[in-house]
Chain A
Amino acid sequence: MVILMSIWDKFKKKNEDWKVLLKQSTDYQSTYYINKKTNNRFGFHFFSTLIDEQIIQESALPPLLNEEFKTLDDIKKIVPIADVQILEDTTKIEEKLLNGYVMITMDSDKKKYAFVAAQKEIVRSLSQPEIEFSVIGPKEAFVESIGQNLNLIRKRLPIKELISQEFTVGELSKTRVAVLHIEGLTNKENVDTVKQRLENIKIDSISDSSYIVELLSDNSNSLFPQLLDTERPDRVAAILAEGKIAIIVDGSPHVLIAPTTLIEFFSAFEDYFLNWIIASFFRLVRVFAVFFSILVTPIYVAALTYHFELVPADLLGTLVTSRRAIPLPPILEALFLELTIELLREAGARLPTKVGQTIGIVGGIVIGTASVEAGLTSNVLLIFVALGALASFTTPVYKMSNTIRVLRFPFLLFAQIWGMLGIVFCFCILTAHLLRLTSLGRPFLAPIYPLRIKDMKDSVIRSPLQNMSRRPSVLRTQNPYRFNSKKAKHNKDIDE
C-alpha cells in the first residue's frame, strides 16, 4: 500500500511538470507565428489529433496574422470563434489542451493564456436501436457522444426545467457523466443520492455506462441489474417525465435510468406504441416466459427424479419411453443440454455476425437432433430446454435476460437435491433477495411489494394512457399528477 502511494505521488509530481510530459507525445505541437502588423510573436499549442485543423486555418490563424492585436485579450475581438477563453490559471492548461482547445501564447504577455475551442468531434451517425428495436415508433438510438445524446433528449423535452449536471468520473479516463432530471418534478432525494454516489466514485477509468451501473448499485453482489439501461432516447424522455433520473455517460450508447423496478425490465418501450390490450397481453406473455424459462427444466428434473405422481398419466408414457435408453439421470441430462445452449449462445455472441448465423444452425439442428439420436438426452427435455431458452430471450433488456439464464442453474441444483421442495426453497431465497433489493433506496419489487395498486396500471399490464394520470407513487415525485384526468377523459365529437 505504501509503495503504491509513493508511486502515485511520484506520478502526480511528474504530472505537474506538464510541458515536459506533453512534449513527449508526438501529436503535441507548438508552432510560432509573427503578426504582420505588430511583429508580435505568438504561439499555437495543441494536440493535432484532438483539434480540427480546418478551424485554425480558416478562422483563427488569418485574423491573428493579418490584423492588429497587442495583448491576448484582443484575440476575443478579432477571432470569429464563439468559445475563446483567456485564463491565467496554469492548472487548467492541461485539461483544456486535452479537451481539444488550442492554446495561444504571446511572448509579450506570458502570464495569460488564450484558449480557442477547435474540437474535432468524431461522432458515429445515428443508427437504429439494436437491442431495443421496435417495429413501430422512433428509430433513433443513442451514440457514443454525450453531446449528441443530450441533444436527442433535449429535442424531446424542450423545457427549461430539464436540468443536466455534469460530473467527471475516473482519475485517468476523466469520463463526463451527466445527470438529468426535471426540476420541480423529480424527487430531490433521488437526485442527491445519484450526485453523492457519483462524487464518491473512486476508479481510474470508466469504459462504459455498465461501470456506473455497478458502482452506483445499492447491492453490487446481486444478480439483478438495479439500473435500467436503454439505447432509446424516447424511452429516456418518457421516464424523465415520469419523475426518474437519467444518467448519460460519455462514450457509451446506453443511458441509465434510476430508480427502477423489476417490472420495468420486462416492459419493452414498444408496449406504449401498441394498443393497450395487445401490449398488456405481450407483457403477460413476457412475465410468463420468465417463470417458464427459470422453472421448466428444474421442474422436469424434480418431477422425474422425485415426484412421478405429478406427471399426468397420459404424459407418463411419453416421458418413460423417451427416457428409457438414456444412461444419464435427469439432472445430468438437463445440465448437458443447458450447458450446450449456453455454449451456443456464448459462441454466437463472440463470433462475427456472419459466422454466428451458422452457429444457430449447427446448434439447433446438428447438436439437438444428434444428441437425441445418440441417446444422450430425451427429446422431451430437448423441447423444454429449447423453449426455456427461447423464453429467456423474450426479456427486452439484455442484462436481465442474462440474469434469468443464470438463475435457472441454482434452481436446477436444488431441484436435484430436494426435488420440488428444493425449488420452493430456492424460490423463497430469490423472493427474499428481491424484497430486500433497492434501486437508489427505492424498493425494487414495487409495485408488487410494497403493494401499490395504483402503480399496477403500468406493471404487468399496460393500461390506457388516459388512465395513467398519476406518476408512480414509489418515486415520491414532487408532482404526483401527470395531467388532469377529469379534463382528459372526454373525447367529444366536434358538434357536441
Chain B
Amino acid sequence: MKKFLILLIMVIFLSGCVEKRIVDEINIAIASGFDPSDGDKKFKTTFLMQDFQEDMSVQNRTITSEGDVRREILIGSNRQSPSPVVVGGMRLTLFEKSIAKKGIKDYIDTYQRDATIGTRIFFATTEGKTEELLKGNYGPQGNGSFISDLIEHNIRQGDVPKTNLASFLQDYYQKGKDVYLPHIKKINDKNVDISGLMLFKGSKALYILPSDKMFYFKLLVDRYSKGEFTVSLEDGSEASVHSIISKHRLKMDKKDPLHLSIEINIKGNIKEYTGNKLNPKIIEAITKNLEEKVEKECIQLVKEFQEKEIDPVGIGAYYKTQIRGFDYEKWKQTYTDLSVDIKSDVEIIETGATY
C-alpha cells in the first residue's frame, strides 16, 4: 500500500514534467534553409511548414527570420507563427553556397545536440538563396517532401553518393576524410535539379563537382546498387548499362606505402544498344570501354583532390587503419605525393532477352 501511495504521488507530481506537443497544435518545420543575413545579424533562416489541405495536398508556407544563434531564430519564427514551431519533423536542411563556404560547423552542432531531430535527414547546399528555393511550388506533396525525396531516390538509384546526417557527422569527425553534400539548384518555380556535389575541406565548402563527374565520384566513395551508365563505342553506337552494382576497395602496397591502388568492381546489364547485333565481341568492347573510361576519369578525380588537398574518398581514414602509429599531421604532407592507380573490373552479367 505504501508503495502504491508513493507511485500515486509520483504520478501526480511528475505529470507536468513532460512538455506536451499535440500534433495539430504545433507547427512542424519539414525543412529549413540558412542564408546570409541581409542586415547585421549572423544569418537568416527560412523554415518550411506544411499546411495540410482537406484533399491531402500540402500547401507550402515559409517563415523567415534573422539571428545570431538558432534559439533566437526560433523565437523570431514563433512571432510569425500561429502555433509553436518545432523542428522534430525536419527532413531536410539547405545551406546557401556562401554560408557553406564560411563553414557549417556552427550549424551542424545543433543538429547533433537536438535529440528530436532524426539522423536520417538530408543536408544539401544550394545555388542561390535557400529562401527562394523553399518558396517554389514543386508538387502536391509539398516542397520539403519533394526535395528530400529527390535526394533520397538519387542516392538509392542515381549518382548521388550516400549522405545523411549520420554519415555526414561520421565523416566530418573522422580524421582523414572530407565531407561532401549534394548541390541543388532551382531551375524555375516548378523544378529543382541536383546540379553537382559540393566538396568540403573541413567544414568549409571548396568547390562543386559537376554532375557528369558524379558517376565516377560515387564509384570511388560509395557503392552502387542500381546505377545507370551509357557507353559510346568507336563505331558510333551507344550501349546503356543498367542495374549497375559496384564495389570499391582501397589497397595499400605493403612494400611501398606511398603507393595506393583502388580496385573498382562493376557489374551491370546491357539494356539498350543502338548498334546492330550484340555479340560477345561488342560486349567485350563495351566492357573495355567502360573500364578505360572509369580508370581515366577516376584517376583524374583523385589527382584533382590531391591538388586541392581534400580527401573525400577517405584515403587518410584507410591509411589510419593500415599503419601503426599513424601521424595525421605528417599524413597531410604525404597525401599530395601519394601515387594512386585505379584498376577497374567490369562484368556484363546479362544482355537482355534476344530473339
Contact = CB atoms under 8 A, between A and B. Distances in A.
Given A321-B53, A321-B54, A321-B56, A313 B30 contact: yes
Contacts of A320: 23-24, 52
A316 B18 contact: no
A448 interface: no
B205 interface: no
Interface residues of B, number: 27
Contacts of A194: none
Given A319-B23, A320-B23, A330-B22, A308 B88 contact: yes
A329 interface: yes
Nearest to B15: A417
Contact of A318 (B18, B30, B56, B91): B56
Contacts of A323: 23-24
B116 A309 contact: yes
Chain A CB within 10 A, most for which of B22, B30, B89: B22
Interface in B30-55: 30, 50, 52-54
Nearest to B118: A309
Contacts of A303: 23
A320 B52 CA distance: 7
Interface SS of chain A: helix
B277 interface: no
B28 A317 contact: no
Nearest to B24: A323
B18 A317 contact: no
A308 B89 contact: yes
A329 B25 CA distance: 10
* Chain A CB within 10 Å, residue with most, of B23, B28, B86: B23
A418 B14 CA distance: 8
Interface in A81-108: none
A316 B22 CA distance: 12
A305 interface: yes
Contact of B56 (A305, A317, A329, A417): A317
Contacts of A321: 52-54, 56
Contacts of B17: 418
Contacts of B19: 306
B86 A308 contact: yes
Contacts of A326: 24
B323 interface: no
A309 B89 contact: yes
B110 to A, nearest CB: 16
A486 interface: no
Contact residue range for chain A?
Answer: 20 to 34
A419 interface: yes
A421 interface: yes
A303 B26 CA distance: 13
A328 to B, nearest CB: 10
A421 B18 contact: yes
B53 A316 contact: no
B349 interface: no
Interface in B106-162: 116, 118, 145
Interface in A302-358: 303-306, 308-309, 311, 313, 316-321, 323-324, 326, 329-330
A304 B26 CA distance: 11
Contacts of B53: 321
A326 B56 CA distance: 17
A316 B56 contact: no
Given A313-B89, A317-B50, A317-B52, A305 B15 contact: no
A306 B21 contact: yes
A162 to B, nearest CB: 45
A308 B23 contact: yes
B56 A308 contact: no
A305 B22 CA distance: 4
Given A316-B23, A320-B23, A418 B88 contact: no
Interface in A416-438: 417-419, 421
Contacts of B22: 304-305, 329-330
Given A417-B11, A418-B15, A308 B21 contact: yes
B20 interface: yes
A316 B21 contact: no
B209 interface: no
Interface string B73-92: 00000000000001011010
Contact of A308 (B11, B28, B58): B28
B310 to A, nearest CB: 34
Contacts of A313: 30, 89, 91, 145
A308 B26 contact: yes
A117 to B, nearest CB: 53
A311 B86 CA distance: 14
Nearest to A429: B7
A414 B8 CA distance: 12
A308 B21 CA distance: 8
Contact of B18 (A306, A319, A324, A329): A306
Given A321-B53, A417-B15, A419-B18, A316 B24 contact: no
A414 B11 CA distance: 9
Q: Among the interface residues A313, A321, A324, A418, which one has the most CB atoms of the partner chain B within 10 A?
A: A313
Interface of B: 11, 14-15, 17-24, 26, 28, 30, 50, 52-54, 56, 58, 86, 88-89, 91, 116, 118, 145
24 contacts: A304-B22, A304-B23, A305-B21, A306-B18, A306-B19, A308-B26, A308-B88, A309-B116, A309-B118, A311-B23, A313-B145, A316-B52, A317-B56, A320-B24, A320-B52, A321-B56, A324-B52, A326-B24, A330-B22, A330-B23, A417-B15, A418-B14, A418-B15, A419-B18
Nearest 8 A-B pairs (CB), nearest first?
A309-B88, A317-B52, A323-B24, A417-B15, A308-B23, A304-B23, A321-B52, A320-B52
Given A308-B26, A414-B11, 4 more contacts: A309-B89, A313-B89, A321-B54, A417-B14
